Amino acid sequence: MNAIAPQVSSATPLPSAAELDRSLRDASPAEVIAAALKAVGRDKLALVSSFGTESATLLKVMADVDPAIPVIFLDTGWLFEETLAYRDTLVATLGLKDVRSIKPAEETLSREDPERDLWFSDPDACCRIRKVEPLTRALKPFSAWLNGRKRFQGNARADIPVVEDDGARLKFNPFANVSREELEAIFVRAKLPRHPLAASGFRSVGCMPCTSRTAEGEDERAGRWRGRAKTECGIHTMKSS
């Protein structure tokens, strides 16, 4: 279904994250997205997508609800060419109406990563200037955002709620309760194209220097920042302002 985004009055108080989480605890991903639309309206809602190996599923569900919801894509300057091509494929396939590619500030890159080797010496700082800071800027106009984290991905994601407060806005996790099997069923049922790198062993794809193939039996995110204690880029641990 294509939903007409409701017009939400700026005077209308937003429901709390706790209230929404209680009411949506057992909701389907489409119901969660529709609830986010109802809560803040299309102009104040964004979906943040990496256009990674599982991204097509959330984007498909969103497009079925309202393909004009803004989608924020962080073009870090270190992405695989295959990811950029996949983004274009999914935009065309799903009929996405408003995909915004956000890049790091050139001034910041020149000052803090002039040799493009920060990913090696300080990966947290690299993620901060290439992901966290650009996303913080991009989200400023919005009152809520959607993302594709799932509990089955483990680590810091094992106990995520369906709705949370990131410090400045509502954060909806429509796929929090979705299983690997349900995710695969969406791919198959909708005949969604796969990320070009998935067939060669990349189960989770981020920036080139910090992404490697995943071996059989490994956690699906084991190929991210391999050999380091780091498991998140920071956009899901930041407190927005």
Point out the catalytic residue in the list 126, 127, 207, 233.
233
pLDDT of 224 reads: 80
Nearest to 15, CA basis, from 124, 225, 172, 120: 172
Q: Is 95 exposed, middle or buried (0-12, 13-18, 19+ CB in 10 A)?
A: exposed
* Residue 13 structure tokens: 């108080």
pLDDT at 9: 46
Q: What is the domain count for the chain?
A: 1
Q: Residue with structure tokens 């959607």?
A: 146
Structure tokens at 1: 């279904």
The whole domain housing 202 covers: 17-210
**SS3 for 138?**
helix
Type of residue found at 217 = G
Residue 55 lies in a domain: yes
Is residue 41 assigned to a domain? yes
With respect to residue 230, please indicate whether it lies within any of the assigned structural domains.
no
Which CATH number do you get for residue 159? 3.40.50.620
In a domain, 223, yes or no: no
* Residue 233 annotated to the active site: yes
In angstroms, the CA 148 to CA 205 distance is 13
Q: What is the pTM of this model?
A: 0.87
Q: Which residues of the chain have pLDDT under 70?
A: 1-12, 154-158, 231, 234-241
**Positive or negative torsion for Cα 73, 78, 81, 83:** negative
Residue 93 lies in a domain: yes
Burial (CB < 10 A; 0-12, 13-18, 19+), residue 235, is buried
For residue 219, count CB atoms less than 10 angstroms from its CB and return exposed for 0-12, middle for 13-18, buried for 19 or more. Answer: middle
Q: How far is the C-alpha of 89 from the C-alpha of 72, rounded, in Å?
A: 16
- Decide if 225 is inside a domain: no
**Is residue 29 in a domain?**
yes
Give the burial class of 196: count Cβ atoms within 10 A of its Cβ; 0-12 exposed, 13-18 middle, 19 or more buried. middle
pLDDT tens digits, residue range 121-137? 999 999 999 999 999 99
Q: Is residue 39 part of a domain?
A: yes
